[in-house]
Amino acid sequence: MEESLGNKDERLCGICTTNRSKYCCPRCEIFYCSLDCYKSEKHLDCSESFYRDCVNEELSSYHAGDEAKRKMIDILKKVQNKDVDEEESETEESIDSDDDIEIDLHERIKDLDLNDADALWNALTEDEKNEFEAVVRGDVGSVLPQWKPWWMYNKEAKLVEEVSSSEVDEHLKKCPCLKSVPKFNTLTVCISL
């Protein structure tokens, strides 16, 4: 019996025939040494059918309820309607919005109850609705200009600047005129002790 165990440990890989086998395929019972050998071309038919059976088994075990089916159908209908709407809008001629006479948003909503979301939504034009939805999705860049914070601005200051005579003259013009100022020693009294 010990001899048969020893023979099992010394079996070569049936795929690469160079390394000692560590595993046995449960389907075709070929001995192999690694995952690379299991996935190799020589064993492809067996391993692919194993993977296919696993996927089919998992899919057959999943049963969607009526509610899940309804939700999926609704989602698919929305996507289909959106695609149809996009195709229609691409085929229509583009209209210059500046030519349209449009009532100002302020005028359209001044008599509405601002707490009634449906009434406000109905007062918006299609462009305004699309713009609002873009902002809700996080596309604020289409509405607001790109902001650059003050700390990102970099003004390069020269360490050494040449002073031209015109600049000196300008600075002197800004200085107050000095009238005749007496010498300091004439202003102070020296007391000797």
Whether 22 and 33 have beta carbons less than 8 Å apart is answered as yes
> Residue 103's beta-bridge partner residues?
none
Give me the pLDDT at residue 59, please. 77
The C-alpha angle with vertex 84 and arms to 72 and 65, in degrees rounded to 5, equals: 5
pLDDT class of 151 with cuts at 50, 70, 90: confident
Give me the pLDDT at residue 23, please. 92
Whether 46 and 52 have beta carbons less than 8 Å apart is answered as no
Q: CA–CA separation, 68 vs 62, rounded Å?
A: 12
Q: DSSP string spanning 51-62?
A: HHHHHHHHHHH-
Q: pTM of the prediction?
A: 0.30
Region 13-33: what's the mean pLDDT?
A: 92
Domains of the chain: 2-61 (3.30.60), 105-139 (no CATH)
**Residue that wins the pLDDT comparison between 89 and 176:** 176
Sorted by sequence, the CB contacts under 8 Å of residue 5 that are 6+ apart come out as none
Q: CA–CA separation, 33 vs 39, rounded Å?
A: 11
Whether 67 and 74 have beta carbons less than 8 Å apart is answered as no
**Residue that wins the pLDDT comparison between 89 and 153:** 153
Worst-scoring range by mean pLDDT, 27-31, 42-46, 143-147? 143-147
Q: CA–CA separation, 167 vs 5, rounded Å?
A: 101
**Residue that wins the pLDDT comparison between 70 and 17:** 17
Q: Which of 24-28, 98-102, 159-163 has the highest mean pLDDT?
A: 24-28
Q: Which residues of 109-145 are buried (b: 16+ CB within 10 A; e: fewer)?
A: eeeeeeeeeeeeeebeeeeeeeeeeeeeeeeeeeeee
Locate tokens 């159908």: which residue? 73
Q: Residue 96: is its pLDDT beyond 50?
A: no
3-state helix, strand, coil in the chain (%, to 5): 55, 5, 40
**Residue that wins the pLDDT comparison between 48 and 163:** 48
Give me the pLDDT at residue 4, please. 42
Pick from 16, 22, 12: nearest CA to 42 = 16
